[in-house]
């Protein structure tokens, strides 16, 4: 099957129109359900948080980081063997160009990306603001394209609730929680006030689920069982299973089938590998026309996979899936989630 993406004039939205070659399918528009939009101070906070709580990531994903930041892999590995901060300095040298929002939006338009869920964090920047605050202020005028999902840490339930309330008041439209970085179980009853507040405010929660590399914490932090427990206790809570709970994709799909507020997004995983035997994604493709059709969203994680977003979306469009499923996964389901969170869609 031939797939191509054609941005519509002016706004970068790809359009599905008839073409002369019946074998060509125009790729629908894209919404990235797991995006990272930071300046260098934000990236440094992100990398330091990984290094302090899950240093394995700086090692396992060394090639991915260097590819994304355009750094020498050899220099990075040499620096990492000595000191974490030296390795981060290799990725973020002082002469890097500053973050350019207009340039970022222009790139999104070129890739056919009409919107993204940008994940923040409560980490402090050198100027005293949190990453959440920087992100909310930076994208204030383009929140129809960049939806800020504020990051919260569950290490301190009261602080998490305060960060939720501050971010909501400042315009956040979702939350982001990474259990293996906190060393906490989101299903612990201590966090019930956080989930109740998120449900009341219609803030969807992106939760890191499935495999992680932090050896100091068990793999069960953020499993499908976590999602099942939260969805059962907090019926109005909207949950997005980050990375789709891989490798337990079937269990996560079944959880979504039981709970109408549960969605899956598959960032960090390349669509072109999904149809390969043993990939772990067989259940997703098998149920694509059924229970997975309206519950799955495309995401990137920004730095994990090589290359821009457009080709990753093309990989999804090239899978043996009906056109309506591709459109739903690339953007339709994310758009429906945004509408549902805003209270304008009956779901």
The full DSSP string for 68-108 is HHT--HHHHHHHHTT-HHHHHHHHS-TTSPPP-HHHHHHHH
pLDDT bin (cut points 50, 70, 90) of residue 344 is: low
The answer to whether 184 and 155 have CB atoms below 8 angstroms apart is: yes
Residue found under tokens 């979702």: 174
The pLDDT-based confidence of 332 (bands split at 50, 70, 90) is: very high
Residues 6+ away with beta carbon under 8 Å from 246: 210, 211, 266, 269, 280, 281
* Mean of the per-residue pLDDT values of the chain: 93
C-alpha 254/C-alpha 123 separation (Å) is: 34
Other Cβ atoms within 10 Å of 16 Cβ, number: 14
Q: Is the pLDDT of residue 198 over 90?
A: yes
Predicted confidence band of residue 173 (pLDDT cuts 50, 70, 90): very high
Asked whether the beta carbons of 160 and 194 are under 8 A apart, the reply is: yes
Lowest mean pLDDT among 108-117, 261-270, 295-304, 305-314: 305-314
Q: Choose among 103, 64, 72: nearest CA to 307.
A: 64
pLDDT over 70 (residue 281) = yes
Residue 261: other Cβ atoms inside 10 A? 20
Q: How confident is the model over 32-64, as pLDDT tens digits?
A: 999 999 999 999 999 999 999 999 999 999 999
**Closest among 207, 134, 203 to 173, alpha carbons compared:** 203
Q: What is the mean pLDDT of residues 247-271?
A: 98
Q: Residues of CATH 3.20.20.140 domain(s) within the chain?
A: 2-39+99-342
- Give SS3 for 274: coil
DSSP assignment letter at 140: G
Please state, in angstroms and rounded to a whole number, the distance separating the CA atoms of residues 262 and 205.
10
* Structure-block tokens of residue 281: 């994604």
Q: Is the pLDDT of residue 343 over 90?
A: no
Flag whether pLDDT at 318 surpasses 60. yes
What confidence tier does 23 reach under pLDDT thresholds 50, 70, 90?
A: low
For the segment 129-152, the average pLDDT, to the nearest whole number, is 99
Q: What is the pLDDT of residue 189?
A: 97
What span, in angstroms and rounded, lies between the C-alpha atoms of 268 and 233?
Answer: 29
pLDDT value for 307:
85
Q: Sorting pLDDT into bands at 50, 70 and 90, what band is 220?
A: confident
What is the rounded distance in angstroms from the CA atom of residue 133 to the CA atom of residue 77? 32
Radius of gyration of the CA atoms of the chain, in A: 19
Write down the pLDDT at residue 25.
59
Residue 4: pLDDT over 90: no
Architecture of domain 2-39+99-342: Alpha-Beta Barrel (3.20)
Instruction: Identify the residue with better confidence: 42 or 15.
Output: 42
Check if the beta carbon of residue 197 is closer than 8 Å to that of residue 165.
Answer: yes
Q: Is the pLDDT of residue 16 over 50?
A: no
Alpha-carbon distance of 217 to 182, in angstroms, equals: 9
Q: Could you tell me what percent of the chain has a pLDDT over 70?
A: 92
Position 14 scores a pLDDT of: 33
d(CA 274, CA 281): 5
Residue with tokens 């969805």: 231
- For residue 326 the two structure tokens come to 């591709």
Q: What is the per-residue pLDDT across 73-116, written as a single tens digit (0 to 9) for each?
A: 999 999 999 999 999 999 999 999 999 999 999 999 999 999 99
């Amino acid at each position: 099957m031939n797939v191509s993406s054609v941005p519509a004039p002016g706004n970068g939205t790809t359009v599905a129109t008839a073409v002369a070659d019946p074998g060509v399918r125009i790729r629908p528009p894209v919404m990235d359900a797991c995006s990272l939009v930071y300046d260098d101070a934000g990236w440094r906070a992100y990398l330091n948080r990984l290094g302090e709580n899950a240093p394995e990531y700086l090692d396992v994903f060394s090639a991915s980081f260097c590819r994304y930041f355009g750094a020498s892999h050899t220099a990075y590995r040499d620096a990492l063997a000595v000191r974490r901060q030296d390795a981060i300095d290799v990725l973020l040298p002082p002469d890097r160009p500053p973050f350019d929002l207009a340039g970022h939006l222009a790139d999104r338009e070129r890739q056919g990306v009409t919107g993204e869920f940008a994940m923040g964090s409560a980490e402090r920047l050198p100027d005293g603001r949190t990453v959440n605050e920087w992100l909310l202020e930076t994208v204030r005028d383009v929140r129809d394209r960049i939806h800020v999902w504020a990051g919260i840490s569950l290490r301190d339930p009261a602080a998490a609730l305060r960060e939720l309330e501050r971010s909501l008041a400042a315009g956040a439209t979702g939350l982001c929680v990474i259990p293996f970085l906190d060393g906490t179980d989101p299903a612990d009853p201590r966090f019930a006030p956080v989930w109740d507040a998120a449900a009341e405010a219609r803030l969807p929660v992106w939760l890191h689920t499935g495999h992680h590399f932090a050896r100091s914490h068990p793999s069960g932090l953020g499993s499908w069982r976590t999602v099942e427990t939260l969805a059962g206790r907090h019926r109005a809570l909207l949950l997005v299973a980050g990375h789709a709970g891989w490798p337990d994709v079937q269990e996560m799909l079944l959880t979504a089938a039981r709970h109408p507020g549960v969605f899956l997004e598959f960032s960090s995983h390349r669509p072109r590998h999904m149809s390969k035997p043993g990939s772990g994604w067989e259940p997703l493709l098998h149920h694509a026309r059924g229970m997975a059709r309206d519950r799955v969203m495309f995401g990137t994680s920004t730095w994990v996979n090589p290359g821009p977003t457009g080709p990753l979306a093309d990989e999804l469009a090239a899978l043996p899936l009906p056109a309506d499923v591709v459109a739903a996964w690339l953007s339709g389901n994310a758009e429906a989630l945004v509408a549902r969170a805003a209270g304008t869609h009956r779901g």
